[in-house]
Every structure is written in C-alpha cells, then in structure tokens.
Structure 1
Amino acid sequence: MNLPLITLAQEHNEKIAIVTTDGAFTYRDLLQTSSQIAANLLQDAEDLQDERVAFLIPPGFEYVATQWGIWRAGGIAVPLCISHPKPELEYVITNSGASIIIAHPNFEAILRAIATEHNLRFILTSETLPDPVDRLPKVDIARRALILYTSGTTGKPKGVVTTHKNIQAQVTSLITAWEWTSSDCILHVLPLHHIHGIINVLTCALWAGAECHILSKFDAETVWNRICEGDLTLFMAVPTIYVKLIAAWEAASEKRQKSMTAGCSKMRLMVSGSAALPVQVLEKWQSISNHFLLERYGMTEIGMALSNPLHGQRYSGYVGKPLPQVEVRLVDENGELVSPGTPGEIQVKGPTVFLEYWQNPQATAKAFKDGWFCTGDLAVVENGNYRILGRMSVDIIKTGGYKVSALEIEEVLRIHPDIQECAVVGVPDAEWGERVCAALVLQPQRQLTLESFRSWAKEQLAVYKIPTRILTLEELPRNAMGKVTKPTVVELFRSSS
C-alpha cells in the first residue's frame, strides 16, 4: 500500500505544494521528483528494507523531495543539520548506521570525506535522476520512517525512531486541533532536522494539501516582507524568532509598522513552541500583531502532547491541555498520580509516542514506565491547564528551542589543552530561554578569552551548544560527595552578570 502522505498528495496534483526562492512546485512535481529519487536510491533493489539514508540539504523543494524519496524507497530518513561541524555529522551518520549519504553540492567537501572514510554510497542532489518508476515498494505504516537525534542526560545524542504510523498520529492530531485545511498557507522558517520544523510545519502542511513557503534561512526582514504580502494563514516559530521579529518591527517606520500589523491580522493562527515563551514577549507580540500566541508542549520522542486551544481562552505561561490521540498524566517520584495543583513528572502515552531509541534498548526501557513515556519534565495542572515548571535533570539545557546536553558539551571542553575542569549549565535568559554557560578551572599559568574559546569550540560543537559566557574559577563548587553543585554554578553566573 502507498504511504498515506503520498496517497493524499495524489489528490492535490496540480495544487502548489512548496514555494521557495527558486519558484513554485506542485504536488505533482513533488510526487514525480520523489519517485525519481526513490528509483535512484533503489538501483536494482526492490526495497531499501529500512536502510538508513542520511541527507544534508538546505530547506527547500529538494529537501522535501529527498525525504519523500527515501520513504518511498523503503528507507529510513536521517536528516542532518546544516550548521553542524564535521564531528557531529559523522557521529549521526555512524551511529545511525547510514549506508547512503545524499548531499547538496554546498556540503560536498565535508560529507564526501566522511562517505569515503566509511565506505558509504555518496549521492549529490545535482546528479541527473533516472526516469520515475511505476513500481515502488509497498511500505507498511508500521515501519520505521525517521531518526532524529536529541540530547539525552547521558551525554551523546540518542537517535529517536518514529514510524510512519507515529508520524500519521502526530500530524493528524495537530491537523484536528489546529484545523488545518488545503486552503492554508504557512511560512516555514525553522530548521529541518528538528521535529518542530519537520512535523508541525512541513508535514502538517503537505498532509493537509496546503501551501508551504520555505525560507532557506531565517531573516527578520524577509519574514516581515512575506507577512506584509498578506496571503499567509499560519506562522509557527520559537521565542527567539519572535524576539527578533519584534526588534525589526520596532526599528521600522510607522508606515511599515502598519503594513506589518495588517499582514499579521490576516493570519488565523500564530504558534510559539520548543522553549518557554517569556510573558513580556507574548504581550509585546500581541500589541504588534493582535495575536495571542498559541503555546504548546512537545518533544522529539512524543511529537506534540499539550496545546492551548485554537478557539477559546489561552493563558500565558500555560501549555493548555492534551491534544487529540494523546494521554497525559503527572506522577510523583514513586510513580503515584498527583492531585491538581501538585507538581509531577509529565508522562505520555498514545500512538504519537516514538518506537525506540536507535539500537539502544537500555535507554528505551529506562524511558518507559508501564507503557508511559517519562518526559523528565515537571509540570502542574492549574484550572485544568498544564504549566511547565522545568526539567528534572539539570543536565539538559533548553536554548533557543534546542535541547542540549551539558554532559556532552563538558566531554568536548575537557579536550581543550588549557581546561583542567569544567561545569556547563543553563542560565535563565529572556531571549534564549536558557543560555549555555561554562565554568572553567584552567591549567596552571593558562589564560583563555571568550573569543578564542568560542572559535576553538566552533570546530567541535554545533553553534547552539557553544557556551556564550565563561567564568574562570579556582575550583568548582562541590557537595560532600564531590559532585559539582550546578545550582551554585548558575548562581555564580547570575551574580557576575
């Protein structure tokens, strides 16, 4: 049987699916090109049989056609992040056991080297594609579709495996809750190696038969120009993007401001997620756009779980109620249900929940309790609405919509020749949610500037994982057991700013 996404696309053949700076592409274009990509991946095989295909392509039509092509050939898509340095790309490629790498020519140098070193098949998106084939494999929706990497508390990122069935549940839940239709038009400004950009925006739009206008990278003026055109119905972003859009609005002339506000008021829904939305940002955005941003809560492992309502009262600082097809409960440390008003860990159950951590049965088993996925996030229910209190682990930092492991960053910083010891923490920040900060104990007679430290770190870590502030200490604060007391480290940063 065909994947539901493909069957639905066939109903919208001549309708525009994707718009980029390269032009407009119809659902037929997407079906044809993805069929050619599938044929190219298959060569003489009948089915990729869950082979992993890693791909690094800027946001746009080629990205989507490649993702669909991998799925239609029976492969598992492993999207790579365009801003990651070589060690991070290599980790994802080797950990996922990818046998094929597809790259846009912009990334040929970095990825061809990895492919050669690991003896993997390497395909450039600029290569001529074969004719589309009539016979592509029948892909069961219970099969694995996607592996996205997320930072865990144990250091290195884990591969979160979702099936086609999980994706269907995640997408149809949001389409029901947020009333997507084929007449919607959304501007896509989010990264495409992250669930927010892949599921909430891209796949929901294409599932609904809507138009998805994709920017290759975020730029506040470009986004405002598109909003001013007045044809968008939906917009979804992270708090940091709203902060940048507010700054651009404030710098604009009065005439332009009016046009910006008018463009926003033509939309039916604006959403904020992936990080806590500061109340002052919500209020400022409301005064600019006349939209009370809809906040929701989700994560890579579960898709979206909670959402403020499309219609009806939304509360700032709250993430609403469980979405369709999602069961949510709050439990204490003994696994007992808590009463309303009492904080507890968010646990989630339902068809939207992921299948497994890739080749990591111990981590998978540890993440579930009696069939419920344990998120590690604390929340409280007040007046029927969930309010997120933070993470149970101090070692997960949420910055600009990304979940980052402090332990993973510490591992990397320890290889710096001048660093003897380090403690990485998230320090609360109005724009980023949390800022990644590093307390360092240096080797004797050594000095380190933030600038030289950051330029070294850029070779090792994704840009959003690089500490933006450092503090040099004689020694790290520790408890009686010798464990670094991270809340004390956070206080040191707060008192030094």
Structure 2
Amino acid sequence: MITLIERAATFPKRTAIKSGGHSYTYQTLLDKSKDVALSILDGQIDLNGARIAFLVPASFTYAATQWGIWRAGGIAVPLCEKHPLPSIEYILNDTQASTLILSEEFESLLAPLFDKTEIRFIRFSEITAKKGELPDVQTDRSALILYTSGTTGAPKGVVTTHDNIEAQITTLVESWQWNKDDHVLNVLPLHHVHGIINMLSCALWSGACCEFLPKFNPEEVYQAFTKGEVNVFMAVPTIYFKLIAYYNELAPAVQESISKHLKKFRLMVSGSAALPISVLEQWKEISGHTLLERYGMTEMGMAISNPYNGTRKPGHIGQPLPGVEILLGDSDHQPVQNGEPGEILIKGPNVFKEYWNKPKATEEAFTPDGWFKSGDIAIWDGDSIKILGRNSVDIIKSGGYKISALEIEEVLRKHSNIKDCGVVGIPDLEWGEIIGAAIVSETDDFDVEELKSWLNDKLPGYKTPRKYLIMSDLPRNVMGKVTKNNIKELFTNNQQN
C-alpha cells in the first residue's frame, strides 16, 4: 500500500487542497482519485506499470489525477503546461504512454494528436463516480517519470519508485518540521520535484493544506500572504527577485502590512538555482526570514539542506539530510580533503531507480560502487557545503529550470539560415542565468526577430534564448571544439559595453 495515500484516511475532514476558489478535504481527494483510478483501469485489475501521462493545471485536479494513476498501479508522467506540442510528443513517444488525462484548457493544444496516435485520451471533466476494487500496489514499483535535460541533449526520463518518493518526503518532513497545521502556497510548475515533492507531497503526508495559484503573479501572492493562512512558502530565486521588485513599488503602509504577515511565517525556502546573496539580504529585510537554501535534483529529490533551527550560511547549501550519504570526490571518485573542491556524490533511498529506457545513461550516472554523480562541484566550508559550479557548460540553470544547451542548439540548427550555433548560460541576477545563443549565419542580414517568431512553437519560453550574437564563426580550440567559456565571455563583454 502507498503510505502517502494510506495516511490521508487518518485526517479525512481536514482541508488538503485549495485551488480555484474551492477547498477540498482529504476524503474528497481519496474519493476523486479512486474515480480516476477506476476510469483508467476500465475493467482491468492492475495497470502493472503502464505509463499514464497527464496535462492538467496545478490544482486539486492535479493531485487527484496523480494519486489516481498510482492507485491504479500506473506510472505517472506529468506533462509541462508550457511545453509546445513537439516537446509533449517526445515524452509521449519516449514513455510509450498508453493514456493521457487532460483538462479542457489543453484540448486545443492536444487536438492534433487525437487522430494521430493510439493513445487513449480521458477528459478529467468526464470522470464520474465509480464502484470497484483497486489493486494492492507494492511500494518498490516505479511511480513517477520526470524529464530532465542532460548533457546528451535530449531530455531523459527519471524514474522514481514509491519507496524513493517516500524517502524524499520523510527526510524533509523530519528536517523541516512539517505538521498538520501548515499551509503552503504553491506557485511552481508540477513537473519538477520542487513543486511535487517538497510542497504538495510533504503537505499531504502531514495532513497540511497545499494552496495553488495556477500562475505566478506577485500581487496575488501577496494577497494570499496577507489572508493570514499561509505559513510556509518555497520558491526559486527568480520568484523572490520579482516579489522584492513588486514590494518596492508599493506604498509604505502596504509594505508594512505585508511584512507584518511575513514575519509570522514558519518557514521560507529557496532552491532549484543559486540564490544571490543580495536577494537573500533584501528578502530578510522585507520578511524577517533568512531563506533556507537546500540542494537537490530530479534524480534524488533533496539531499542537502541548511538547518531548520540553527545558522544558515548565505551562499551555502548546508549539511546532508537524514538518511542521505554525501561524498565530495575527485576525478577518480575518491574523497577530497576538507576545503578542496570535489564532485557531489550521493547515496541513499532517495536516489532514483533509472533513466527510462536508457541503461547506458543510467550506468554512466553512477560510480562503480553506487554513488550517483551529480555533476556539481562543491567544497566543505567549515560545517557547511558550498557549491562552486557545474562540471559541464552544457547545463544552464535559469529560473529554477535545468536546461540542456545541446537540446536548444539542435532546434536552432534546423533553421534554414543558421550554419552553426553555440548556446550558453549568461549570469543574471534575476534568473540565475539567461540563455544566450551565438549564431553563425548563412546570410549577411540575419533577422533575429524572425528567428524568435520561428522558435515560438518549437521551444517553451523558458528554453528560448534571450540574448543573441551574430558571428562569422564560433571560438574553437585546436581540436576544432567550440569553447563555450569564450562564448560566455563574449556575451558578458557585450552586456558591459
């Protein structure tokens, strides 16, 4: 039995979800997720690991759909609301999804697939109350496939089991002292562990309430804060940057009211990208809170965290979470001395099972003795870990997303007037990094605005380059390989000029 769902029966009357102006109890969530499960099963006894994709808004609908897939014995494959159709098709094809559950707002986006694929489409609005028995789902089964960009370009499906998910939840519940009286405001997309595990699942494990805003809006976030219900908030640095900018435009009396409410919060967390110290300091001045920074990845949930009680060092990610082993290793994956840089290596029940249908990539992700290789370089600085950067220039972290430069380059090279290109991350205070594309054109009068328009239906907004350089050739080393650090310097110098 899936413990997360089993626990819900112990607090049936408590509010589990708030979304769209409605409140939903744990019993309502159990009832609706059972209806979803029986609809997917459609007479079968057990889905036995069939991949079930779903494209629904961040809301009660999402929680009921995800739980319904799990209760039917399926593997949940959440799709990103912001992805264009080609990105969605890639995931559907890669997972060989048998069913796609959708809500009405995505009908027009998905319509081209209705007659083109054998996938069964279920509209959430048409799911009605049903009677029937559900399978007994063992917790060592695969539960979730989340897609993450990697150095190979094409996104990889990260497979986690119910046991992995439970380990990811319980270590945070213990470390961050989640309890049934918590009320978290969730403004993050639900195809990443930050929104799915750290907020939604931790809240539902604890008997707490998860409130959704379907889209981030600073005014609506502050309105939710000043109602006096929310006491936990988690976001990426970009969101805190925007909240600070909005706050600074408000009248002093409004600022005072907001700050008064924020100081009553129990916990505020920042993650998914490096938090600029200036943002941390400004938010502390507004809210009275030193944001808790933590470290995790799709492949492992959270692994390292600053303390809930105790000193939080700016620019540091803290110590290993309970049940998680951390090693900083050299190029041979041997421990480095304190104060020396090493790659973060992780072991624990939180670490993912495999990359979907990619045994070679899975094998390469681990050392011979079973440590997961994060690709992030860090040092022990006293009693806390400080990240120095990635060992690959092909991963860009922007607004909490981990983005493959190679994936974007593959799309750009399909443009008829692009001969070659190099995509890099450019340091940016608000976004952590923004995407820059150096273009070698086939023509002398390359039209950047036409390129932006061309990219609209080929890449989601967060993967679309924000800065462009038109060049006669890309910088290369003696072996002919593009030197991306040189491209980064060109963008940085261009910004300063």
Deviations 1:186-217 (A, max 9, x none): 11111001110000000000011101111111
Q: How many angstroms apart in 2 are the aligned matches of 1:280 and 1:486?
A: 27
- Say yes or no: does 1:328 pair with 2:346: no
AA aligned to 1:50 is G
Q: How many angstroms apart in 1 are the aligned matches of 2:375 and 2:331?
A: 11
AA aligned to 1:264 is L
The aligned residue for residue 486 of structure 2 is: 488
Per the TM alignment, residue 109 of structure 1 is displaced from its structure 2 partner at its CA by: 2.3
Q: How many angstroms apart in 2 are the aligned matches of 1:114 and 1:353?
A: 34
The aligned residue for residue 248 of structure 1 is: 246
Which stretches of structure 1, 4 residues or more, deviate above 4 A after TM superposition? none
Whether contact under 8 Å (1:230, 1:262) holds in the other structure is no
Whether contact under 8 Å (2:39, 2:127) holds in the other structure is no
What pairs up with 1:330-349 in 2 under 5 angstroms?
330-349=328-347
Question: Secondary structure of 1:368's match?
Answer: coil
What pairs up with 1:48-127 in 2 under 5 angstroms?
48-127=47-126
- Say yes or no: does 1:428 pair with 2:427: yes
The aligned residue for residue 229 of structure 1 is: 227
Cα RMSD, aligned residues only: 0.9
The aligned residue for residue 180 of structure 1 is: 178
CA 339–197 in structure 1, closer or farther in 2 if over 3 Å, else same: same
Residue from 469, 473, 493 that aligns with 1:471:
469
Which has the larger displacement, 331-340 or 481-490? 331-340
Q: How many angstroms apart in 2 are the aligned matches of 1:159 and 1:62?
A: 23
Q: How many angstroms apart in 2 are the aligned matches of 1:115 and 1:408?
A: 27
CA 75–115 in structure 1, closer or farther in 2 if over 3 Å, else same: farther
Per the TM alignment, residue 110 of structure 1 is displaced from its structure 2 partner at its CA by: 2.3
Deviations 1:151-207 (A, max 9, x none): 000010000000000000000000000000011111111100111000000000001
Q: How many angstroms apart in 2 are the aligned matches of 1:132 and 1:199?
A: 30
CA 377–168 in structure 1, closer or farther in 2 if over 3 Å, else same: same
Whether contact under 8 Å (1:112, 1:122) holds in the other structure is no
The aligned residue for residue 407 of structure 1 is: 406
Per the TM alignment, residue 285 of structure 1 is displaced from its structure 2 partner at its CA by: 0.3
Per the TM alignment, residue 22 of structure 1 is displaced from its structure 2 partner at its CA by: 3.4
Q: How many angstroms apart in 1 are the aligned matches of 2:28 and 2:98?
A: 27
Per the TM alignment, residue 252 of structure 1 is displaced from its structure 2 partner at its CA by: 0.7
The aligned residue for residue 392 of structure 1 is: 391
Structure 1, unmatched stretches of 5+, are none
Q: How many angstroms apart in 1 are the aligned matches of 2:89 and 2:335?
A: 42
Question: Secondary structure of 1:153's match?
Answer: coil
- Say yes or no: does 1:316 pair with 2:314: yes
Whether contact under 8 Å (1:230, 1:264) holds in the other structure is no
Question: Secondary structure of 1:183's match?
Answer: coil
CA 436–290 in structure 1, closer or farther in 2 if over 3 Å, else same: same
Per the TM alignment, residue 327 of structure 1 is displaced from its structure 2 partner at its CA by: 0.4
- Say yes or no: does 1:462 pair with 2:450: no
Deviations 1:385-427 (A, max 9, x none): 1001111000011111000000110000000111111000001
Q: How many angstroms apart in 2 are the aligned matches of 1:112 and 1:458?
A: 18
Q: How many angstroms apart in 2 are the aligned matches of 1:271 and 1:445?
A: 48
AA aligned to 1:338 is V
Question: Secondary structure of 1:439's match?
Answer: strand
Whether contact under 8 Å (1:231, 1:266) holds in the other structure is no
AA aligned to 1:438 is A
Question: Secondary structure of 1:117's match?
Answer: coil
Residue from 337, 353, 356 that aligns with 1:355:
353
Question: Secondary structure of 2:307's match?
Answer: coil
The aligned residue for residue 14 of structure 2 is: 15
The aligned residue for residue 45 of structure 1 is: 44
Whether contact under 8 Å (1:101, 1:115) holds in the other structure is no
Question: Secondary structure of 1:118's match?
Answer: coil
Deviations 1:228-254 (A, max 9, x none): 112211100000000110011101111
Residue from 272, 277, 292 that aligns with 1:279:
277
Q: How many angstroms apart in 1 are the aligned matches of 2:63 and 2:131?
A: 16
AA aligned to 1:149 is Y
Question: Secondary structure of 2:126's match?
Answer: coil
Q: How many angstroms apart in 1 are the aligned matches of 2:282 and 2:100?
A: 44
- Say yes or no: does 1:196 pair with 2:186: no
Q: How many angstroms apart in 2 are the aligned matches of 1:98 and 1:40?
A: 16
Q: How many angstroms apart in 2 are the aligned matches of 1:129 and 1:52?
A: 22
Question: Secondary structure of 2:160's match?
Answer: strand
Deviations 1:366-387 (A, max 9, x none): 0011111000110000101100
Whether contact under 8 Å (2:75, 2:143) holds in the other structure is yes
The aligned residue for residue 442 of structure 2 is: 443
AA aligned to 1:214 is F
Which has the larger displacement, 193-202 or 113-122? 113-122
Whether contact under 8 Å (2:290, 2:312) holds in the other structure is yes
Per the TM alignment, residue 142 of structure 1 is displaced from its structure 2 partner at its CA by: 0.2
Structure 2, unmatched stretches of 5+, are none
The aligned residue for residue 24 of structure 1 is: 23
Q: How many angstroms apart in 1 are the aligned matches of 2:140 and 2:131?
A: 25
Q: How many angstroms apart in 2 are the aligned matches of 1:113 and 1:453?
A: 24
Deviations 1:244-297 (A, max 9, x none): 100111011111101110111110110000000000000000000000000000
Per the TM alignment, residue 132 of structure 1 is displaced from its structure 2 partner at its CA by: 4.0
Question: Secondary structure of 1:205's match?
Answer: helix
Whether contact under 8 Å (2:36, 2:127) holds in the other structure is no
AA aligned to 2:148 is T
What is the total number of aligned residue pairs between the two structures?
494
Normalised TM-score (structure 2):
0.98
The aligned residue for residue 296 of structure 2 is: 298
The aligned residue for residue 382 of structure 1 is: 381
Whether contact under 8 Å (1:418, 1:448) holds in the other structure is no
Whether contact under 8 Å (1:150, 1:160) holds in the other structure is yes
Per the TM alignment, residue 495 of structure 1 is displaced from its structure 2 partner at its CA by: 0.6
Q: How many angstroms apart in 2 are the aligned matches of 1:112 and 1:102?
A: 13
The aligned residue for residue 2 of structure 2 is: 3
**Percent sequence identity over aligned pairs:** 52
Per the TM alignment, residue 447 of structure 1 is displaced from its structure 2 partner at its CA by: 1.5
Residue from 135, 148, 159 that aligns with 2:157:
159
